[in-house]
Each structure stands twice: as C-alpha cells, then as structure tokens.
Amino acid sequence: MAENPTQTRSLSGRWNVATQIMMGGVTLYYVWASTIGVVSLQYFRGIAILYSLVAPLLLYKGWRGDREDAPSVLDLALAAGVAAGVVYWMVEHEAMAYRAGDYTLVDVWMGVVVTAVAIEAARRVLGMDMALCAIVPILYALFGNYLPYIIGHRGYSIRRVVEYVYLTSDGIFGIMAEVLASFIIPFVAFGAFLEKAGVAKFFVDVSLAALGRIAGGPAQASVVSSALMGTISGSPIAETVTKGPITIPLMKRAGFPPHIAGAVEAAASTGAAIMPPVMGAGAFVMAEMTGLPYLEIIKVATIPGILFFLSVGVMIYFESRKLGLRSLPAAELPRFREVWSRGWYLFLPIAALIAAMISGYSPQVAVIYGIGFTIAVSWFRKETRMGVKEIWEALVGTGKNCLFVAALVGAVGVLIGVLSLTGIVIRFPYVLVDLAGENLLFTIGLIAVATFVLGLPLPITATYLIVAVIGVPALVKLGVPVLSAHLIIFWLSLDSNITPPVAMGPFAAAAIAQADPMKTGWACFRFAKIIYVMPLLFAYTHILLTGTPAQNIWAIFSATLGTVLISIVGTAFFLVRMTLVEWLLLAAAAALAFVPYVSTAVAAIAIFAAVYLKQKRRADATALQVNAQAV
C-alpha cells in the first residue's frame, strides 16, 4: 500500500521549516550514530521512534477536513504526549529495567499514550488496515481466553499488554526501530544523494541507448534501468513513479498497449525490493532477525534477484514479438557513447559501497564511503554539483522518503510484542505444520495464501514481518534453513505490490499510462509470476548456495534454464503463437528444467528442441505463404 496523497499536508511557514529540520536532523543523526557515533541503546532506538511517531502527526491529516498547511491542536497535543512518552522511556530506561515486574502507574500511562499514537501514526500514513494489524492482536491478547484451545490462551489485562509492548525489547522499541535507525535511513540517504547527482536519468538513458534499437527496446530499457536503480532504491513504488513518466510513454510510442506498458514498468520496478544490496528493508530486517551478517544475506540473494529481471526481460522480448512491435527510430534514442562518457562516473559510488563491504567494513560505514563518493562525482558536471543546499535537500528528502517505512515501526512493534506475549508465535508453527500434514509444499502454499491475504492492505515489508514471525519457525521445523525460510516468505510477500484487486505498483503505473488499472494489474501479475516459483527453489534446491560448489553451480544452471522456459510459456509465443499442445509441452519442459538433475535438464532441452523444430516449420510455412501472396 502506498501512502494516501489525500491525507498528506503541504505545510507552510514555520511548520514547514520545523519539519524540514526534523527530517534533515534525523537523517544526519543516524548517518553519524550508525557509523562513527557512540550512542546508548535507548537513545539510538528512542529517537527513531520519536521521529516515526511525531512526523506522521505533523505531515498527515487525521481527518479529511483538517488543515492542509498546519497541524491541528489535536495533532500538537498527540505529538506532545507521545514525545513525553518516548523521552520518558529514554530517560527512565535503566530505572525501569530495575523495577521490571513492578512498574509504576506513570510507566503504564506513558505506555498507553505511545501505543495509541503508534496505531494512529500507522493509520494516517498507511490506512486503517495497518492500524487493525495492531488493534486486532491487542483484542486477541485481551480476549484470548474465550477462543478455542488451539489458538486461545489464558487472557491478559490491558496493563500487562501495554507493559509488554512499551517496556520490553520485543515491542515498539524493538527490532524494527533498530532496523530503521541502523540500515534503512543510512541506505535511503545514499539513494537520495545519488538521485541528486543525476543517477536515475543516467540509468534510464544508458539502458535506452543500449537496448532501444531492438524490438520492444524501451521495455527492455525499463527492465535494465530497474535492475540498476534497484541496487540503490529498494522501493518498487518509488521506482515506478520515478522512471514511469520516462519509460511508459516511450513504450507506448513503440507500440505497446497502455496497460502492457504500465505492467512492464510495475513488474520491473518490483525487482527493486529483491535486488541487493538494499532489497527494500528486507535484507536489514533479515540480518536482525537471523543474526546472520548482512553481507551473507545479499550474497545469497543476488542470483535470485538477477533471475527475476531475466524472467521479466525474456517475457517482454517474446511479448514484443507476439505484438509485432518495432524499435524506436535511432534519432529518438540517446547515443550510448555520449551517454556513457557523460555519466560513467556515477557507477563509482555504488562500486565504492560494494568494495567497502567486501573489504570488511559494516554496511553503515560503507554507506559513508558511498555518500562521500557521490558528493565528489557530482562535481564532475556543473548541473549536478552538490553544495550545502543540495546536501541538505538530500537529507530532508531522506527523512520524508523513510516515513512510509517509519510509520510501520510502532504498529509492527505492537503486533510482534503481543504475539510474543501470548505465546502464539511458539504454538502457531506447530498448528501450521499439523494443518499441512507436515508437508513442506502444502506449508509453503498456506504461507502463500497468508501473504496474499495480508498483502491486500499491507506493503511488502509489513507483510513479510507479520508472516515471518509465525511462518519461519514452521518452515524450520520442516528442515528448511533459517535464511531460506525468510527469503521464501519475503519473495511471496512481493505479491502485495503486484496482485489485484489491490496492487499499488501497477495502479500507479496505470495512472501514468492512462490505462485500465485492473488490466494493468493482471498483466503485471503475469510478467512477475516468477516470484511464486523462486520460493520453491529456495526450499528444494541449492540456488541459495547451501550445497557443495558443484551442487550450487548446477542449481543456478537449472534455475536459469527453467526461468527462461517458463518465461516463454508465459507469453504463449515463441517463433509463432503456440498451440495448446506446444504450450503444454514447453510448460512440462520448464517444470523439468527446474529440477536440478542431469536427466531432467536433458529431457527439458529435448522437449524444447522438439517444440522449436515444430514452431520453425510453422513459421517457415507462414513466411512462404506471405511471400506468395505478396507476389
């Protein structure tokens, strides 16, 4: 779900200045505190919560009739109350640890205020659906004693619930606050600085220059530029609305129907959430939840991320041929040599970031190197030079761009805290496994249903977090490695961005393309369907580098072969339109290709060759007929 533009404010005067200082100051603080600064835990997490709860009250209206240019009296009262509650938590953190189990009435009432505002902040930015994801668990904690034994519990008082979500590390001030402060803000800042240096336009131009001359070239350029942008942005919606106004008109001019043009951009931009090193917030959350090094996570996630873009690219190529599309005139395309010579240096900050992490620096320190290189290379051209004004704008922009994720922090903290308190986190995996009959495939299917249902109202990160809490233990119980389990759920959570009836990525692209939103959504679903295949490979093969070197290489080969074949199947077109028999044969070949054995690969290639020969005969016959008619 994207933020609701009808609820956002356009602050003016002193309120605009105050919020900009808040946004820029928070960004600067965490770029410093997560790298060279030495900050106590309570202040490190507390200021992140303060920002994530106060900023929505100022920048988002509580009700449609509220003022556009300034916060209301109620907003200011809530902001003052939650600020007092967060500051109290920071100042009294050590003292409250000593009186654990015997908290004072002031402790509890401060918790009530912070918990209530956490829910309200989520409602304002993300809608009532996200707020309900915190409210329903609280009701479950209060009235669980009335539920059937399989999911019920003894019941808890409202005081106990508030104490747990406010005063323990499992609640509001828990893992999501740490991830926001340690990873998301610094990496989004890196992306904001790159944007100021002109990297988005360069990526689109270089992709068009390289691929624009082939059939459907603008669509292929959309895929390649999305892969490049995905390394730094991590946000499908942001990519869609940033690149869409450039790529979608070009695709329409090349002959793509409007809904296909929008679907291509939305599908390609979805890859931003799975393309290392940023992966939205996914890689950072996984690092915190699994205890694994961040570099290890992005290492194993790279091949699947590349295969996603390969799948979309192959589908677009054959879709272009099916539609009989032409390339754009050379005069309308940028020249590769000129584009490259004008902007090749924009890859240096990304190279510096990756090199720093490979050298052993933490991701946060690597970001400092990346930002430093970005400021330096921005001076290569007069129009992109970053002075004090541009640097400050990048810092402020980071604070605003992070707010969408920041609004999740409090509500997700409430949800995780309540689930931990009631013990359902421990019991539910056993229920899930029993329901699936201890069948791994069925368990993954149930998790896919859960991500689909939750993904209707929630964004990718929220869906992943909620399902991971209960789904990962179930998968681990069935023998799936911890990181593989997390990636299974994260990939399945991508459908919250692409699957109708609520698909914010395609809907945003449809608005740009002036196309039917539902047609765009279903076309996007078709282009991005590999997100449902890859989790099965995570569970059953060594695509995540979990085997010997030989097993890993063979898993990558079979996954690549299967990805190409299933992408062709998705268009129902090869050399000519497929018959039903040809489609079924190629679908069987794709299924065999994904099984990492020599025999299945040989069988898949043999079937593919047979379909190719059959198609070639039909294509040749059609060409002869056309030539005869022309004569």
Q: Is residue 462 part of a domain?
A: no
Q: Is residue 612 part of a domain?
A: yes
Which of 179, 196, 213 terminates a domain? The answer is 179
pLDDT of residue 502: 58
- The model's pLDDT over 399-432, given as tens digits with 9 standing for 90+, comes to 988 887 788 888 888 988 888 888 876 676 667 7
Q: Is residue 238 part of a domain?
A: no
Q: How many CB atoms lie within 10 A of CB 510?
A: 28
% the chain with pLDDT above 70:
93
Q: Is residue 491 part of a domain?
A: no
CB 564, CB 314: distance < 8 Å = yes
- The model's pLDDT over 496-554, given as tens digits with 9 standing for 90+, comes to 777 765 566 787 788 788 888 778 888 888 898 899 999 999 999 999 998 899 999 99
Q: Which of 209, 216, 109 is nearest to 166 (CA)?
A: 109
- The model's pLDDT over 297-344, given as tens digits with 9 standing for 90+, comes to 888 989 999 999 999 989 988 988 888 876 667 777 778 888 888 888
Q: Is residue 11 part of a domain?
A: yes
Q: Is residue 33 part of a domain?
A: yes
What type of residue sits at position 71?
Answer: P
What type of residue sits at position 409?
Answer: V
- pLDDT, averaged across the chain: 85
In which domain, by residue range, is 623 found?
541-631
pLDDT of residue 26: 94
Band (pLDDT 50/70/90 cuts) for residue 627 is low
In the chain, count H helices and then E strands: 30, 0
Q: Which of 24, 95, 82 is nearest to 50 (CA)?
A: 82
Indicate whether 142 pLDDT > 80. yes
Band (pLDDT 50/70/90 cuts) for residue 2 is very low
H or E element at residue 148: none
Indicate whether 3 pLDDT > 50. no
Band (pLDDT 50/70/90 cuts) for residue 1 is very low
- The model's pLDDT over 35-49, given as tens digits with 9 standing for 90+, comes to 888 888 899 999 999
**Gap between the Cα atoms of 183 and 289, Å rounded:** 13
Mean pLDDT throughout 23-46?
Answer: 90
Q: Count Cβ atoms within 10 A of the Cβ of residue 345 and give its class: 0-12 exposed, 13-18 middle, 19 or more buried.
A: middle
Name the domain count of the chain.
Answer: 2
Which of 139, 154, 179 terminates a domain? The answer is 179
% the chain with pLDDT above 90:
32
Which of 119, 150, 179 terminates a domain? The answer is 179
**Gap between the Cα atoms of 298 and 291, Å rounded:** 14
**Gap between the Cα atoms of 506 and 470, Å rounded:** 29
Q: Is residue 557 part of a domain?
A: yes
CB 352, CB 174: distance < 8 Å = no
Angle at 495 between CA 492 and CA 500, to 5 degrees: 150
Kindly state the tokens that stand for 585.
Answer: 């044969």
Q: Is residue 522 part of a domain?
A: no
